[in-house]
Each structure stands twice: as C-alpha cells, then as structure tokens.
Amino acid sequence: MSIDTIRLADRMQRIALSPTMKGTIEAEKLRRQGVDVVDLGAGEPDFQTPLRSMADSLRRLGNGGNAEPPQAAPKPAPPAEPGA
C-alpha cells in the first residue's frame, strides 16, 4: 500500500497549520525572494549558539544539573477553605 492510497478522515481537513509551520513557510518564501532571513521557526536556528550559553549549559551539567535554566520555586498552594 502506498501513501497515495490512504484515505484520511474528513475531519483531518479541518486541522489548521500551526503558527510555527506558517512562519517556516513564510520564511522560505522570503528566502526564495532573496531576503536574508533568520528563521526561528521549526527546526534548528540558522546561527551558532552563543559561546556564553554553551559554557553556562556545560557548567550546569558538570554540577549535576541539566541543560535547562534554573526555574523559580513554585508558589505554595493557598490554604483550603474551611469545610472543603
């Protein structure tokens, strides 16, 4: 069976393109017109990760952390209402 023979449900036609995909398509259109585009849409950025960001990530990984930046502690839940 080839992909040409697969029939998708009609509701699949109602799924809109994501904003990310719309941006990727628009960036490609501009690129074809000769516009210098920095595409921050789907996939990897088309520029080198700044050295400071890489060094910070490696430092956190070396200290037992992960590559994500530190997050603020969650706020405590409010006290339960009496009788709840």
User: How much is the pLDDT for 67?
Assistant: 59
Q: Round the average pLDDT of the chain to a whole number and report it.
A: 81
User: How much is the pLDDT for 10?
Assistant: 87
User: How much is the pLDDT for 5?
Assistant: 74
Q: Quick one: DSSP state of residue 33?
A: T
Domain boundaries, the chain: 18-62
Distance CA 80, CA 36 (A): 56
**Which pLDDT tens digits describe the chain residue by residue (84 residues)?**
556 678 888 888 888 888 888 988 999 999 999 999 987 777 777 788 899 988 988 888 887 776 566 677 778 878 888 766
For residue 41, how many C-alpha atoms fall within 13 Å in the half-sphere facing its CB?
14
Token pair listed for 41: 């849409």
The pTM assigned to this predicted structure is 0.41
User: How much is the pLDDT for 84?
Assistant: 60
37, 24 Cβ separation under 8 angstroms: no
Distance CA 38, CA 48 (A): 12
